[in-house]
Structure 1
Amino acid sequence: MDFNFLTPINDTVVAHLISQSMKSLGQNIAIHTTGNGLPDLSEVNIAIIGIKDGRGAPDNEGCGENLQYIREKLYQLFPGNWQTKIADLGNIKQGDTIKDTYFAVSSSVEYLLKKKIIPILIGGSQDLTYANYRGYDSLDQTINLVSVDSKFDLGAMNENLRSSSFLSKIIMEQPNNLFNYSNIGYQTYFNSQEEIELLDRLYFDAFRLGEVKDITLVEPIMRDADIVSIDISAVRQSEAPGNKNASPNGFYGEEICAISRYAGISDKVTSFGIYEYNSILDSNYQTANLIAQMIWCFIEGVNARAKDYPFVTKENYHKFTVLLTDDDPINFYKSDKSGRWWMEINMISNTKYKRHCVSTL
């Protein structure tokens, strides 16, 4: 694939690497630089891509710029005992129109997914989640989307695609590949009762901020996700000031890092995005620092994957069958490797939905 819409890492970031320890993360990943060009992806497992387009967030003008601050903080960190190969492919530059940017994002995601590479998307407005979602169109599979956000971002059905309305476009537009949507951390006063009731009628899952303060409850939600999208405004302003929609309430830094790690641990998660970073408001680069640590935690989670999702294989599981009167039996599976549980659901006979026939417990 021709990645001509990708620009190299900022030269100042590359120069900053010279002063870093040879054991730091920046010294141990493949980086798209002006001198070396794009790295070889043949053995890469995770690819980082910045997106320098915030036009979809008119209420957070400036997001998508200065992604080098995130990279500087990320490159300074030390990797764990990781086996995955990581590449930073640089930035998708702003297209002539926002649709051009969407095309570049979806094309990049599609290419990486077909290469079995997990894309980590940083920067830009959260409507880019829509472009990420469209990258799955050619894979002939339905998608579970998990959004960590204080708002649902449904917007009005006739509203243009924006960071505040991308979910309605994902739900309504064809081809419709959405199987389930889950929101983690919504705050009721930011969402109308009509929106809350609509999600309930659609049988989508929404978890209030107070419900998931026990962060361990997030793991089963992430276990079924394909795409994870995080709006940095879901983190409280004192922890992440770099967003014009930041609020006094939200997740603490260690909580959002734990959520990122749970996303990485999930065998099904194949793309991960953090959006709405606004460097103009980022006091002492605190938000950039937090996003770097979130990315680190996601990669740490990927390296800790048990690879025990039952859709792949049902060997090495304990199977429990519950017989219900006048109903089909319900099968439960317990993994010998991790101790996690799944429940098998009777799905309609469409092979497109087969991968969702096992649900988490």
Structure 2
Amino acid sequence: MIQKYVPVDSQTSPRFCGVKTFMRLPHVKTEDNIDFAVIGVPFDTGGTFAVGTRFGPEAVRSMSSLLRPYNPGLQIDIFQYCSGVDYGDLSVNPGYIEDSYEMIANQLEPLLNKNVVPILIGGDHSVSLPHLRAMAKRYGKVSLIQFDSHGDTWDSYFGKKYTHGTMFRRAVEEQLVDPFSSVQIGMRGSLYSAEDLKDAEDLGYKVITTDQLRALTPNQLGEEIRKRVGKNPVFVSFDVDFLDPAYAPGTGTPEIGGFTTYEAQQFVRQLKGLNLVGFDIVEVLPDRDPTRVTSLAAANIGFEFISLVAWNKREKNSRNC
């Protein structure tokens, strides 16, 4: 009989019991018999302002104990279709960004070789670069769908090429992503110059600012994304500063004028049916999250990502019947 990994049943074991894994999943470091793995990436050396996101995975896991297995928005019982684990945290070398990038990418390789979909919890946003390096090694260039208030395509910070504000320029330069099939969603806030958004577009990214997104329904956004990415393998990156600081105060570079958690749920659900190969959720800073609402929001976005994996598997199974 094939082993299937599912969460502890919170109707028989209280949620405050046990080791804090994501969604109360078993902590098993395996690549076998699983569809997805939740993985912490506790690294924040790429931060340029407030730091402490290395403690993000721990905080998100703690709040994820509130999650249940059925997603009414997508009408999917996750574990009817999926097996998944909390894989634990990847090893990093604090203070040494290029060493840590290599370590992160190498540790993801065994999972990707087994077609496991990683749900990665940062950490600052700079960790998306080694995530994408691992994805590109397995799948070739991927399409990036980025929910964020910042484009993160600056050339350098303080004369350095690797920070949480530069990785999506590096990803194009390293040919990890196909920017012409990628979308940056939610850009807003003050800029260093009028060229900042244009720089991302010049790289090939489609940029949908907050003002532009406000004019779209979730369904219309979904259509824009589907037209853009087609059947390409897709990596989704969700920076919690996509949300308004009222909903996500616990982050290092908040921007006012953002989105509610409800709106974020609706947007993310529009990704169903895409060729989704990986996800990350980044920039949760627990020290600035006194009521833990940011960690709760991030946990629920992770739940939506897992629900998309289950939704896609159900649709694939139905087509094969």
TM-score (norm 1): 0.71
Equivalent residue number for residue 73 of structure 2: none
Find 1:20's aligned residue among 12, 15, 18: 15
Query: Following superposition of structure 1 onto structure 2, how do residues 1-361 of structure 1 map, counting pairs within 5 Å?
Result: 19-20=14-15, 29-32=25-28, 38=29, 40-65=30-55, 67-80=57-70, 81-82=77-78, 83-95=81-93, 97-139=96-138, 141-156=140-155, 159-173=160-174, 176-180=175-179, 181-187=182-188, 189-190=190-191, 192-213=193-214, 214-223=217-226, 224=229, 226-263=234-271, 265-305=272-312
SS in 1 for 2:165: coil
Equivalent pair of 2:56/2:121 in contact (CA under 8 Å): no
Query: Residues 266 and 302 of structure 1 are in contact (CA less than 8 Å); yes or no, is this contact kept in structure 2?
Result: no
Structure 2 unaligned residues grouped into runs of 5+: 1-11, 71-76
Tell me if the contact between 1:150 and 1:190 (Cα under 8 Å) persists in the aligned partners: no
Which stretches of structure 1, 4 residues or longer, exceed 4 Å deviation after superposition? 25-28, 306-309
Q: Residue 52 of structure 1 contacts residue 94 of structure 1 at CA under 8 Å; is this kept in 2?
A: yes
Shift, 1:304, TM fit: 1.8
Letter in 2 for 1:269: L
1:205 CA displacement: 0.3
Superposition deviation, residue 254 in structure 1:
0.9
* Closer/same/farther in 2, CA of residues 66 and 146 from structure 1, 3 Å limit: closer
Which range moves more in the overlay, 57-66 or 43-52? 57-66
Q: Deviations over 1:165-208 (max 9, x none)?
A: 112211223xx232123200111633632132233334320001
Q: Which residue of 1 aligns with 2:8?
A: none
Question: Cα–Cα, structure 1 residues 149 and 26, in superposed 2: closer, same or farther, change >3 Å?
Answer: closer
| Contact 1:48/1:121 (<8 A) preserved | yes
Structure 1 stretch displaced more, 219-228 or 124-133: 219-228
Compared CA separation, residues 226 and 191, structure 1 to 2 (3 A): farther
Cα distance in 1, alignment partners of residues 205 and 23 from structure 2 = 42
1:130 Cα deviation after fit: 0.5
Higher mean displacement: 102-111 or 268-277: 102-111
Q: Deviations 1:63-89 (Å, cap 9, x if unpaired)? A: 121532211221231101121111001
Cα separation, 2, equivalents of 1:280 and 1:270: 31
Contact 2:218 2:270 (C-alpha < 8 Å) held by counterparts:
no
CA distance in 1, matches of 2:223, 2:145: 12
Equivalent residue of 1:120, what SS?
strand
Letter in 2 for 1:93: S
Flag the structure with more relative contact order, 1 or 2, with Cα contacts below 8 A and sequence separation at least 6: 2
- The separation in 2 between residues aligned to 1:201 and 1:281, in whole angstroms, is 35
**What TM-score results when the alignment is normalised by the length of structure 2?**
0.79
Task: Give 1:301 shift.
Answer: 2.1
Secondary structure at the residue paired with 1:65? helix
CA distance in 1 between partners of 2:93 and 2:119 (Å): 20
Q: Secondary structure at the match of 1:95?
A: coil
How far apart, CA to CA, are the structure 1 residues paired with 2:35 and 2:313? 16
Q: Do the aligned partners of 1:184 and 1:209 also contact (CA within 8 Å) in 2?
A: yes
The Cα offsets for residues 196-224 of structure 1, whole Å up to 9 and x where unpaired, read as 22333343200011222322233235542
Asked whether the 8 Å contact 1:145–1:227 carries over to 2, the reply is: yes
Q: Secondary structure at the match of 1:127?
A: helix
Higher helix share: 2
- For the residue of structure 2 that corresponds to 1:183, the secondary structure is strand
For the pair shown, the structure with the greater C-alpha radius of gyration is 1
2:57 and 2:123 in contact (8 A); partners too: no
- SS of the equivalent of 1:273 reads strand
Matched-pair contact (CA < 8 Å) for 2:56–2:284: no
- Conserved in 2, the CA contact under 8 Å of 1:184 and 1:207? yes
Q: Secondary structure at the match of 1:200?
A: helix
